[in-house]
C-alpha cells in the first residue's frame, strides 16, 4: 500500500506527481496552491517521501522505510521544511535571511537522499527581497534538488516565481468527503463529524485538527456566544462588548471570520425562496437560531451586517482603531426590537 493513499480528494494531483516520478519526467520546482489546510503541505511532504523512498518505483512512497519515516516527521537531513515567521498581529513573513540560509543548504551535497527537497510553506508570505533572492535558485537550481512551494493563490506571487514552477491547484473538498474521512479513519462520532465537515469549508486539515483539539470548537462556541449577546443587547451592552473585545486584538480576525460565516448562512436562508439549502450551510448546529431570524430581519439588514463584518476584517488588517471598528460594527447590527 502506497503512502499516496493518505491524500484525500486530490487524486488528479497525486496521479500527476506519481506519473512524473515513474516516467522520470520530474520538474525542478512545483507550486501547490489552494486554501489554508486543504492539504498542500501534506501533498508536498508525501511527494518528498516518494522522491526518496527505498521501495520499488511502483510502491513509492511506502511510508515505512527510513527516509519515509524521517520525512514524515520533518527530521530528514536532506528535506527542509521552511515556514514563515508569525508577527505579534498574526501576520506571516518569510524573510530574506531564511531564504539565504536555505540556498546555502541546498548547495551542499546530500547526506543520504536521492533528491534534496525544500518545502517552502506559504511562499505568498515572502518579502519582495526574499522572493527575488529565491528567483536565482529557481532559475539555476542545483542538481538533484526539487523545490516545492505552497501558497493560497498563485496570483499572490511574483509572475517570475510562478512561471518557473509546475502549478497544482488544490480545490476545497466536499463536506461529504470530509465527513466520511472523519467517521471512518478517525472514528469521530456522526453528529460531530457532520458539524466539522460543514465548518471546515473544504479544508480536511482543519477538520482533522478540530477533531483532535477540543479547544477549537470551544473557541468557536465562545465567539458565537459573543455574537448572540450583541444581537440580544441594546446600544449600551454593545459598547461594553466592543470595549471588552478590543482588549484582545489578536483574537479578532478569527472571531470576525466566525461571525462572517454566520451572517453568510443567514443570507442564504433569507434568500432561499423556499428552497432547501441546509447542505450549503456552514453553521449547521445554529439552524434553529438562524431560521426565525432569516424571516424576522429583511434582506437589507442581513446583507448590511454581512458586508460590515467583512469591512471590519479589512479595516483591522490595515491597523484601524480596534475599538472604533468594533463599535461601528456592533451598532450596525439589527437591534432586538427589529426582530
**Distance (Å, rounded) from C-alpha 173 to C-alpha 176?**
8
Instruction: Write the pLDDT tens digit of every residue in 235-263.
Output: 999 999 999 999 999 899 999 999 999 99
Q: Is 195 part of any domain? A: no
Beta-carbon contacts of residue 61 (< 8 Å; ≥ 6 apart): 2, 3, 4, 46, 49, 50, 53, 55, 68
The reply to whether 228 and 108 lie within a common domain is: no
Q: Is 128 part of any domain? A: yes
Q: Is 228 part of any domain? A: yes
Q: What is the pLDDT of residue 78?
A: 97
CATH number of the structural domain spanning residue 294: 1.20.272
The reply to whether 148 and 290 lie within a common domain is: no
- Which structural domain range is residue 250 located in? 213-338
Average pLDDT, the chain: 93
Q: What is the pLDDT of residue 228?
A: 97
**Distance (Å, rounded) from C-alpha 101 to C-alpha 3?**
30
- Per residue in 108-143, is it b (16+ CB within 10 Å) or e — as a string? eebeebebbbbbbbbbbbbeeebbebbeebbeebee
Q: Is 177 part of any domain? A: no
**Distance (Å, rounded) from C-alpha 334 to C-alpha 339?**
8
CATH number of the structural domain spanning residue 116: 3.40.50.300
CB-CB contact of 115 with 144 (8 Å)? yes
pTM for this prediction: 0.84
35: cell is 486554501
The reply to whether 102 and 225 lie within a common domain is: no
Instruction: Write the pLDDT tens digit of every residue in 85-98.
Output: 987 556 789 999 99
Q: Is 208 part of any domain? A: no
Beta-carbon contacts of residue 184 (< 8 Å; ≥ 6 apart): none
Q: Is 259 part of any domain? A: yes
Instruction: Write the pLDDT tens digit of every residue in 36-80.
Output: 999 999 999 999 999 999 998 788 999 999 999 999 999 999 999
The reply to whether 10 and 107 lie within a common domain is: yes
Q: What is the pLDDT of residue 89?
A: 59
Q: What is the pLDDT of residue 278?
A: 61
The reply to whether 219 and 109 lie within a common domain is: no
Q: Is 318 part of any domain? A: yes
- What is the domain count for the chain? 2
CB-CB contact of 178 with 200 (8 Å)? yes
279 vs 154, residue with greater confidence: 154
Amino acid at each position: 500500500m502506497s503512502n499516496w493513499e493518505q491524500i484525500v480528494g486530490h487524486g488528479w494531483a497525486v496521479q500527476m506527481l506519481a506519473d512524473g516520478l515513474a516516467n522520470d519526467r520530474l520538474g525542478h520546482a512545483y507550486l501547490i496552491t489552494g486554501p489554508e489546510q486543504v492539504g498542500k503541505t501534506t501533498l508536498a511532504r508525501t511527494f518528498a517521501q516518494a522522491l526518496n523512498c527505498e521501495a520499488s518505483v511502483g510502491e513509492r512512497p511506502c511510508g515505512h522505510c527510513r527516509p519515509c519515516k524521517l520525512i514524515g516527521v520533518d527530521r530528514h537531513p536532506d528535506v527542509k521544511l521552511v515556514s514563515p515567521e508569525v508577527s505579534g498581529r498574526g501576520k506571516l513573513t518569510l524573510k530574506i535571511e531564511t531564504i539565504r540560509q536555505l540556498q546555502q543548504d541546498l548547495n551542499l551535497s546530500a547526506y543520504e537522499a536521492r533528491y534534496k527537497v525544500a518545502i517552502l510553506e506559504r511562499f505568498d508570505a515572502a518579502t519582495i527581497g526574499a522572493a527575488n533572492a529565491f528567483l536565482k535558485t529557481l532559475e539555476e537550481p542545483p542538481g538533484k534538488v526539487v523545490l516545492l512551494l505552497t501558497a493560497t493563490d498563485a496570483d499572490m506571487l511574483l509572475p517570475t516565481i510562478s512561471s518557473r514552477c509546475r502549478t497544482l491547484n488544490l480545490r476545497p473538498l466536499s463536506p461529504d468527503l470530509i465527513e466520511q474521512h472523519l467517521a471512518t479513519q478517525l472514528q469521530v462520532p456522526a453528529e460531530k463529524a457532520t458539524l466539522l465537515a460543514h465548518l471546515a469549508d473544504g479544508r480536511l486539515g482543519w477538520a482533522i485538527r478540530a477533531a483532535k483539539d477540543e479547544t477549537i470548537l470551544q473557541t468557536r462556541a465562545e465567539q458565537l456566544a459573543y455574537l448572540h449577546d450583541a444581537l440580544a443587547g441594546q446600544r449600551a451592552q454593545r459598547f461594553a462588548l466592543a470595549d471588552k473585545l478590543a482588549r484582545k486584538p489578536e483574537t479578532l480576525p478569527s472571531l470576525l471570520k466566525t461571525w462572517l460565516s454566520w451572517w453568510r448562512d443567514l443570507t442564504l436562508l433569507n434568500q432561499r425562496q423556499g428552497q432547501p439549502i441546509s447542505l450549503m450551510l456552514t453553521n449547521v448546529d445554529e439552524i434553529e437560531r438562524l431560521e426565525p431570524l432569516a424571516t424576522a430581519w429583511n434582506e437589507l439588514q442581513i446583507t448590511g451586517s454581512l458586508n460590515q463584518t467583512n469591512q471590519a476584517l479589512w479595516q483591522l488588517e490595515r491597523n484601524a482603531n480596534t475599538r472604533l471598528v468594533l463599535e461601528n460594527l456592533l451598532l450596525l447590527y439589527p437591534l432586538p426590537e427589529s426582530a
